[in-house]
A and B are shown apart, each in its own frame.
Chain A
Amino acid sequence: MRRFRSFGLFVVVAIVLGLASTPPAAAAPDAGSAQKFIRTLADKAVAVVKADEVPKSDRSRQLRQILRDHFDVRTIGIFALGVHRRQSTPEQISIYLEEFEDYVVYTYSTRLEKYAGETVAVTGTRPAGSSKTDIFVTSEIVRQGKEPIPITWRVRDRKGTLQVIDVEIEGTNQIVTYRQEFAAVIKRRGNGVEGLITELREKNASLQGKLASN
């Protein structure tokens, strides 16, 4: 009887502990925190672009930090691989993801320059379909004397941490452009993800060279 009761207690404790250790049910990020998250990200990015005194090499380093803190580079990179992911080994994928991160850092190091002096206004949110993990945050790049450029951020809650997984500008999704472009590279070069890695390396070297010579 005692044994039975303690077993019963054990079960109750196990259930309670079990429930407590189960991560909270997946839910789309709430509008307020998602907007705040993009606000912070935009402020950081604007600060890096504005900082004239910061050398260009440091700018890349700072952008990489922003990218790692606020973007799910792994999800973006794996999505961009599309079907070719299945024919790749885990080693190949991790090498690819490293080159991909460099590629994003180097391209955005120059890309963001033309927005120097402009500000970002976060305008609202809308649900990402029926997604239980994602939400869209809408914003605008406010430019002097020109029409604002709308930018939509797709924010995902990954185990309690918010991360950007896609950026949409004028109806084009960055993650889709990556995937379609990479598919074309792989088709042209053959050799699966290896061909893509080679092209990413070449591009990164050339972009890095241009950044250094600026």
Chain B
Amino acid sequence: MGVIVRKPAAHLNILLCAALSMSLAACGSTTQGTTSAGDTAQQANADSGDPWENTNRAIFDFNNSVDRAVLQPIARAYRDVLHEDIRDGIRNFSDNINEPVNFVNLVLQGKDVKAAQTVIRFVINSTVGIGGLGDVATNLGYPRHQEDFGQTLAVWGVGEGPYIMLPILGPSNVRDTVGKVADNFTDPFGYVIPLAGNLARTFVNGVDRRERNLETLEDIERNSLDFYAAVRSLYRQNRESQVRDGEVEGPVLDIPVYAE
């Protein structure tokens, strides 16, 4: 049933995705131009990658209202009601059914060793780990490599494009938004599980993610001068680090020696 429902929509989305990709390539080159124009230009326009700031801020406010009214209470209840071990199991399970997406993107990025590790990992956790509830593979030397199509595009040289605040889903940019859509297509479980199951999966993922970020986001909101700008900065930096897999060192920031 789910398969039938999703298929026609899929074609439409591919077109949309292709159209977005093309405009994205343009965005990418613009961003690169700004960067090569020099550090000063980049510093002067620390927010130049956010041409839709007004709209984004409005969506951010909306998201925060929804968060306070709905998502946060659910995330707190989720934490209070379910024991940590059970929450870990749920997280492991949803991480495990996401492994095919990681695999596809690892292959697309040419990271064949990690791709192979991911296959072994998926097999081990799906069997010994009882359908993915337990993460046995990490301790056996097959760690999780989280990759999405946004990162793949970045590895292929596509710039992040304008920053975009997605309703409910939160901070992103044009490149990562396209990536999210594309990952839905390469995810085999998206076709196998009925639509209701997929919605439930997305919902549980969201609650789980929110639960993990309860303290962090509270901290940022409490301590920042500008919550929106702080989230934007952290999102961008964090994504950049994910693209480098947190391993390959990025360029060393130039912090001058200021005169007394």
The verdict on A94 contacting chain B, using a C-beta distance below 8 Å, is: no
The verdict on B64 contacting chain A, using a C-beta distance below 8 Å, is: no
Instruction: Give the dominant DSSP class at B's interface.
Output: helix
Encoded as 1 (CB less than 8 Å from any B CB) or 0, chain A from 100 to 118 comes to 0000000100110010000
The verdict on B70 contacting chain A, using a C-beta distance below 8 Å, is: no
Total count of chain B residues near the partner, CB < 8 A: 33
The verdict on A83 contacting chain B, using a C-beta distance below 8 Å, is: yes
Total count of chain A residues near the partner, CB < 8 A: 43
Instruction: Give the dominant DSSP class at A's interface.
Output: helix
From B225, B246, B253, contact of A199 by CB (8 A): B225
Chain A residues with CB under 8 A of B252: 128-129, 131
From B224, B246, B258, contact of A171 by CB (8 A): B246
Q: Is the CB of A173 within 8 A of B253?
A: yes
The verdict on B226 contacting chain A, using a C-beta distance below 8 Å, is: yes
Chain A residues with CB under 8 A of B215: 114
Q: Is the CB of B225 within 8 A of A181?
A: yes
Chain B residues with CB under 8 A of A131: 252
Q: How far is the CA of A166 from the CA of B254 in the complex (A)?
A: 11
From B219, B244, B249, B255, contact of A75 by CB (8 A): B255
Chain A-chain B contacts (Cβ-Cβ < 8 Å), number? 96
The verdict on B32 contacting chain A, using a C-beta distance below 8 Å, is: no
Q: How far is the CA of A82 from the CA of B233 in the complex (A)?
A: 15
Q: Which residue of B lies closest to A146 (CB)?
A: B84
Q: Which residue of A lies closest to B235 (CB)?
A: A172
The verdict on A203 contacting chain B, using a C-beta distance below 8 Å, is: yes
The verdict on B238 contacting chain A, using a C-beta distance below 8 Å, is: yes
Given A172-B237, A185-B229, is A179 in contact with B46 using a C-beta cutoff of 8 Å? yes
Interface positions, chain A 147-190, Cβ under 8 Å from B, are 154, 156, 158, 165-166, 170-173, 175-177, 179-185, 187-188
Residues in A lying within 8 Å of B, measured CB to CB: 74-75, 78-79, 82-83, 107, 110-111, 114, 126, 128-129, 131, 133-134, 154, 156, 158, 165-166, 170-173, 175-177, 179-185, 187-188, 196, 199-200, 203, 207, 210
